[in-house]
Amino acid sequence: MKVLTAAEMQACDRVTVERYGVPSLKLMRSASFAVAAIARQLFSDAHRVLVLCGRGNNGGDGMMTARLLAEAGLQVNTILLGAPDGLKGDAAAAWEELQAFAHAQRQQSSIHLVTSAEEFLPLNALLQADLIIDALVGTGFQPPLRGLPLAALQWVEQGAREAKILAIDLPSGWSADISADTAEGSPAFPADAVVTFTAPKPAHVFGLLTRGLSDPVIIAPIGSPNEAIISNLGLHWSGSSKAIADVERPANSNKGMYGHVLVIGGSSGKSGAPAMSSLAAMRSGAGLVTAAVTPSVLPLVAAIAPELMTHALAVNPDGEISAGNLHPERLEALLKRITVLAIGPGLGTEPQTAEFVLGLLEQSRLSAVVDADGLNILAANPNRIAAIAKGRTLVLTPHPGEMARLAGKKTAEIEADRINIARDFATKYGLTLVLKGWRTLIAHPDGQIAVNTTGNPAMAKGGSGDLLTGMVAAMLAQHPHDVARAVETAVYLHGLAADITVREPGIGGDQHTLLATDSLANLYRAFHYHPQAENGYVWLQGISPDLGS
């Protein structure tokens, strides 16, 4: 699913109307239908609804939603900012319809006009609503929020304590094109859920638009054909790729069809990291997994699961992984029948170890995932990265600190320009770069970027990255010809498993208590989950109630 700028979204709507003959009023109707349906699904206890309508088409969506909810029997009070005289186009039509409906019904719902900030005060009782629908401004908003929409925000903030807030398209005050996690410089409506249409805009994938991290942000298709959804951003959402994990395995499957992952790491005192990577690779569907570690930690790593095979790496007199592992016979034994390398968990960066890792990556053309100390070794030898990346699938999974070392920049510089830095690095070397953090980016060698929307702060702990390394390797092992979707799926499922775990009662059911490996217990539920719910709405953020058990 592509991410579109506000201008591209407007172009999409225009093309849908002009080239595909869908009347714009019909688009608005579909949009409102989705908002009303989602309002009733998410806030099923709400009876009193307040709809705040601006004067553009976002307001028009609100007016139509108000009518739909009133028709469904809810008590709906609608406020229009300004006089109806100047309303144009579809918003004017929506207003006419709402007026006519209210007139005919004469029921408990009401419509109010507010033309100055003082006029909100007599309407204070309306703030006792269970649900407020924010339809003030959408993609037509130019920051910062001002005038009556700003006054409406202040009124709501000081008076509506209990109400849940559902934003149409964007919480008013958020600029659609922003690629930061906050609506910097512009006050914005709080939101407990957001419904947007057709495609996410940058704010939907990069911003934390809602009060809670797991509050829903939902994309509703409203009738634009795929051909009309065009973007030059080169940015898409990782969740769509998860479809590759939904394909049933053929009945006559054998383990050779799903690849053999070799995890390389595990120096003295670091047995946990390769063990976790191996376990995650096994739990993500790899046919076979072998952990190659130093003899000192081998028994501990092997103990993680009886299904895991192990291989003792040669060590130097100090017990460090030695360059002797590059000896042709040793190398041949190490790589026999292996299809994917996962290098780095608990590896160490001693000179001999570095020599082995660089030599291994240069001499073999196997697909490889490199993390942790493997990245630090590459960062210390930047002149060798190009040759290593050439002619193979190479996936690097740095956090911002590791990325800073790889790119020769400061961590703050990475954080300030994640998209460009990730894209430049991936295209320069022809590799896949997973830049971890809030909204992990997956930059592909062709310059396309996927943004991931699963994951939560409970994952900011040791072990998280080790699991991801194993998961990426396992997905590559199973989908060697679909590298982009394999990596995006691993990232998506990794975050989702933690999201599922942290919200449920149990030992990992809290941001503090979650351990990386707790998530593995829910990985099967992440695999079963479809971000596109049965009704066609896509859950970009939050977990739809369709979650399988």
Ligand X SMILES: NC(=O)C1=CN([C@@H]2O[C@H](COP(=O)(O)OP(=O)(O)OC[C@H]3O[C@@H](n4cnc5c(N)ncnc54)[C@H](O)[C@@H]3O)[C@@H](O)[C@H]2O)[C@@H](O)CC1
Binding positions for ligand X, rule: CB under 6 A:
13, 24, 27-28, 31, 54-61, 137-147, 149, 168-169, 197, 222
Contact characters 129-148, K ion, x per CB under 5 A = -----x--------------
Q: Select 175 or 397, whichever has its Cβ closest to K ion.
A: 175
Tell me if 512 is assigned to a ligand binding site: no
Tell me if 316 is assigned to a ligand binding site: no
Tell me if 58 is assigned to a ligand binding site: yes
Helix H or strand E segment including 93: helix 89-105
Q: Select 26 or 530, whichever has its Cβ closest to ligand X.
A: 26
- The Cα–Cα gap between 110 and 100 comes to 12
Q: Which does 27 bind (CB under 5 to 8 A by kind): ligand X, K ion, none?
A: ligand X
- Least separation in angstroms between residue 116's CB and K ion is 21
Length of the chain measured in residues: 549
Candidates 145-153, 168-176, 300-308, 504-512: pick the segment binding K ion (CB under 5 A): 168-176
Tell me if 144 is assigned to a ligand binding site: yes
Q: Select 129 or 168, whichever has its Cβ closest to K ion.
A: 168
Who's near 375: CB < 8 A, 6+ residues apart? 344, 396, 397, 398, 402, 405, 406
Q: Select 163 or 176, whichever has its Cβ closest to ligand X.
A: 176
Q: Select 19 or 327, whichever has its Cβ closest to ligand X.
A: 19
- The Cα–Cα gap between 464 and 96 comes to 54
Q: Select 11 or 305, whichever has its Cβ closest to ligand X.
A: 11
Task: Give the residue, chosen from 77, 78, 109, 172, that forms a contact with K ion under the rule CB under 5 A.
Answer: 172
Tell me if 189 is assigned to a ligand binding site: no
Residue for token pair 């040669």: 314
- Least separation in angstroms between residue 146's CB and ligand X is 4
- Least separation in angstroms between residue 180's CB and ligand X is 18
Tokens of 525: 């539920």
Tell me if 399 is assigned to a ligand binding site: yes
Q: What is the CA radius of gyration of the chain?
A: 26
Q: What values do phi and psi take at 268, rounded to 5? A: -55, 130
- Least separation in angstroms between residue 11's CB and ligand X is 10
Tell me if 465 is assigned to a ligand binding site: yes
Neighbour order of strands in the sheet with 110-114: 110-114, 75-81, 48-53, 131-135, 164-168, 193-197, 217-220, 538-541
- Count, in order, helices (H) and strands (E) of the chain: 19, 18
10 burial (CB, 10 Å; 0-12 / 13-18 / 19+) is middle
Contact 334, 292 (CB under 8 A): yes
Q: Which does 242 bind (CB under 5 to 8 A by kind): ligand X, K ion, none?
A: none
Of 438, 371, 361, nearest to 398 (Cα)? Answer: 371
Binding site for K ion (CB under 5 A): 134, 167-168, 172
Instruction: Pick out the residues of the known binding site for AMP.
Output: 436-440, 465
Binding residues for K(+): 58, 134, 172
**Binding residue ranges:** 57-61, 134, 138-144, 169, 172, 273, 346, 399, 436-440, 465-466
